[in-house]
Amino acid sequence: MVNFMSEKEFKDFTDNEKALFEEFKHKINLQAARAQIKKIEYNLSDVTTGLSALKAACADASSLRLGGICVAPCFVKPCSTYLGAPAKRESSLIACIGYPDGGDTTYIKAKAVKRAIKDGADEVEVTVPIAHIRDGNFPYVKREFKKLRSAAKNHSLRISAECDLLTKNEIIRLCMLAAECKVNSVKTISGEYGGDGMQTIAEMRGALKDRCTIKAEGVSSVSEMSAAVDMGAGVIGSKNAPAVARYILAAAENEAL
């Protein structure tokens, strides 16, 4: 949390000043915690997640003020109802399109983007065509990004890549194309956020040069989140999002005591 002053400086305060300072510190720590929680998105795109779980998850995301909730396209419309009107939502609704391998044609992906937005999605997150990238067919990838950008119009367009399946050079080339095509965010999915996962984020940051936000998907703890943010991730994706958010809030409350 935020460091304010030394113990010696605090001891020189009057009792009233100490009480006012503790109240101020509590408020600042909670604001800092809320800012961190806004970076977290709840990943609910798993095929086993049904409507009853999604309804509860939307309520959880709203009460915790998570940054967003990520769902399969078929669940965008009901989740849009659960989260309420876009202008009043505490959490953004993100449609995950082409998951998990990006194997759909560009035409189908573009249609899915338009439908998701019509159904109430605030943002769309489209999986890149991994096979084309591995084949070195970057002209195809660039055309797809441009068509997706056009389909999303003024809504945020993200792309998602299983970076463990790509080489360093493929990741860098992918990021450069995303920035060129005005993609808003690039998501990296890693099996674990140890040395390799952190290195991937660092490489992405170097290629993107702050032209796109980096999303680190698969984070499961506060320590992993902290490491990813330190390396340059601006958004954190997690299936454990509510637990991570509650831990951050509890830490802020305890720091203020």
pLDDT in the model for residue 44: 95
**pLDDT(103) > 80:** yes
**Of 102, 108, 100, whose CA–CA distance to 147 is shortest?**
108
> Is the peptide bond between 78 and the residue preceding it cis, with omega within 30 degrees of 0?
no
Measured CA to CA, the distance from residue 64 to residue 59 in angstroms comes to 9
| pLDDT, tens digit (0-9, with 9 covering 90-100), for 11-48 | 555 666 545 545 545 567 888 899 999 999 999 998 88
Chain centroid offset of residue 42 CA = 8
| pLDDT, tens digit (0-9, with 9 covering 90-100), for 113-158 | 999 999 999 999 999 999 999 999 999 999 999 999 999 999 999 9
**pLDDT(99) > 90:** no
Measured CA to CA, the distance from residue 41 to residue 32 in angstroms comes to 17
pLDDT in the model for residue 79: 97
**Of 166, 163, 255, whose CA–CA distance to 215 is shortest?**
163
The residue written with tokens 């998990």 in the block is 100
- Report how far apart, in Å, the C-alpha atoms of 46 and of each of 120, 130, 186 are: 20, 19, 20
How many of the other CB atoms lie within 10 Å of CB of 78? 16
**pLDDT(110) > 70:** yes
Q: Are 116 and 95 in contact (CB under 8 A)?
A: yes
Q: Are 149 and 114 in contact (CB under 8 A)?
A: no
Dig out the tokens for 230 from the structure.
């330190």
| pLDDT, tens digit (0-9, with 9 covering 90-100), for 162-207 | 888 899 999 999 999 999 999 999 999 865 555 577 889 999 999 9
| pLDDT, tens digit (0-9, with 9 covering 90-100), for 40-75 | 999 999 888 999 999 999 999 999 999 999 999 999
Helix/strand/coil (H, E, C) string of the chain? Answer: CCCCCCHHHHHCCCHHHHHHHHHHHHHHHHHHHHHHHCCEEEECCCCCCCHHHHHHHHHHHHHHCCCEEEECHHHHHHHHHHHCCHHHCCCEEEEEECCCCCCCCHHHHHHHHHHHHHHCCCEEEEECCHHHHHCCCHHHHHHHHHHHHHHHCCCEEEEEECHHHCCHHHHHHHHHHHHHCCCCEEEEECCCCCHHHHHHHHHHHHHHCCCCEEEEECCCCHHHHHHHHHHCCCEEEECCHHHHHHHHHHHHHHHHC
Q: What is the chain's length?
A: 257
pLDDT in the model for residue 1: 46
What is the percent of the chain where pLDDT is above 90? 74
Domains of the chain, earliest start first: 7-256 (3.20.20.70)
Predicted TM-score (pTM) of the model is 0.87
